[in-house]
Amino acid sequence: MNVAIIGCNGMGRMHAQMAVNCGFNVVACADLELSTARSVASGFDADATDDCFGVLTRPDVDVVGIMTPTPTHTEYVVAAAKAGKHIFCEKPFGRTVQQCKEAIAAAKKARVKLFVGHVVRYFQEFEAMRAQVAQGKVGKVGFVRLYRGGIFPAGQSGWFRDLEQSGGVTLDSMIHDFDWLRYVFGDADRVFCQALQRTVPNHVDYSMATFRMKNGIIAKVIGTWAHPSGFRVEAEICGDQGIIQFNSDDTPLKAMKRTAPGAGASMIVPSSPVHTSPYQLEWEDFKVWLDGKLRARVTPEDALEAVRMATAALKSAETGKPVKL
């Protein structure tokens, strides 16, 4: 199947390679900056253009990869669906819940397949943690803590610093963890969030969201674009029989069993020290779905719910009050 990539900066270049690794053929690369499109296209013997909507009407394009800034996702999804193309859209699915609903409706009307890249579901470390929870390795889970962050994306410039466009670290980065929480532990009931966004003397963004899940689990998610350098991910899952811990600075995953009650022992693309990239695994999953086999691990409705969790957290941070989901 032939793919057109729209948005050819870091994520677009990476996804183009992942698609090719899975047997897709990249035939066109589109970006508002023609030089950026040409830079990626040259590596795949593809056409380059700055007409991002025009490329959607090409008869030789079967799949469109949308890797543009978040607030533009909906218009490209809707246009691609109208053109009869299957769609791979980067997360966040949209800037608002309503945008996500519009995109889903367009894909359903056109009867095209719409996949949203919530890649944490494909990270082997996170899948291992999910499996251990499902197998009851730490008993009944009561508390979850997730941490993700590093430097401010794109330095001190770029669209990320505009909260209205990006949603800041709460929407753009923590949404990974919001989706994974719901994937493993079910729907959230309510959230209380506190956030700090500062532009002087440097751009920083730090957010802490505490969810009560519908099953009673308390989950704390911390996201930061305030580090002077680097990137780190942490996870801690506490059960009544043990604890699962993960720190990307200290792999591998470790689980400590309690022996007795109370006892115990730029755009940044997170990496994973494994043979097959999680970003390739999500393209493989998408391809299986396109081939008419198993449904993809992530549904558009999952992506919508992640945006709902993120926007509720932003609303809580703005009002200083808990928000019911």
Q: Tens digit of pLDDT per residue, the chain (325 long)?
A: 999 999 998 899 999 999 999 999 999 999 999 999 999 999 999 999 999 999 999 999 999 999 999 999 999 999 999 999 999 999 999 999 999 999 999 999 999 999 999 999 999 999 999 999 999 999 999 999 999 998 888 755 577 777 888 889 999 999 999 999 999 999 999 999 999 988 777 778 999 999 999 999 999 999 999 888 889 999 999 999 999 999 998 755 555 554 443 333 345 555 555 678 999 999 999 999 999 988 999 999 999 999 999 999 999 999 999 999 9
**Where in the sequence is the domain holding 85, given as residue range(s)?**
2-117
Looking at the fold, whether 187 and 44 belong to one and the same domain comes out as: no
Task: Tell me what pLDDT residue 197 has.
Answer: 83
pLDDT at position 42: 97
Let me know whether 210 and 109 are in one domain.
no
- pLDDT given for residue 253 in this prediction: 52
Instruction: Based on the fold, state whether residues 80 and 103 are members of the same structural domain.
Output: yes
Look at residues 62, 95, 117 and tell me which one is the last residue of a structural domain. 117
Same domain, 129 and 64: no
Is the same domain home to 202 and 146?
A: yes
Residues 61 and 93 in one domain: yes
- At 249 the pLDDT is 85
Residue 177 within any structural domain of the chain: yes
Residue 226: inside a domain: yes
* Domain boundary residue, one of 102, 117, 132: 117
**Chain centroid to CA 37:** 23
CATH of the domain at 203: 3.30.360.10
Q: Is the same domain home to 132 and 111?
A: no
Whole-number Å distance between alpha carbons of 215 and 227: 34
| Bridge partners (DSSP) listed for residue 12 | none
78 and 188 inside one domain: no
Does residue 290 belong to any structural domain of this protein? no
Question: What pLDDT sits at residue 268?
Answer: 53
Note whether residue 69 is domain-resident: yes
Task: Let me know whether 179 and 235 are in one domain.
Answer: yes
Q: Which residue, 117, 138, 158, sits at the end of a domain?
A: 117
| Residue 235, domain member (yes or no) | yes
Which pLDDT does position 153 carry in this prediction? Answer: 81
Are 30 and 60 found together in one domain? yes
* Per-residue pLDDT, 157: 57
Query: What confidence score (pLDDT) does residue 92 get?
Result: 97
Amino acid identity of residue 217, one-letter, is I
| Residue at 292 is within a domain | no
**Residues 100 and 130 grouped into a single domain:** no
Number of domains in the chain: 2
- Specify the CATH number for the domain of residue 78: 3.40.50.720
Within this chain, do residues 140 and 62 fall inside the same structural domain, yes or no?
A: no
223, 193 Cβ separation under 8 angstroms: no
- The answer to whether residues 108 and 118 touch, using CB atoms and an 8 Å cutoff, is no
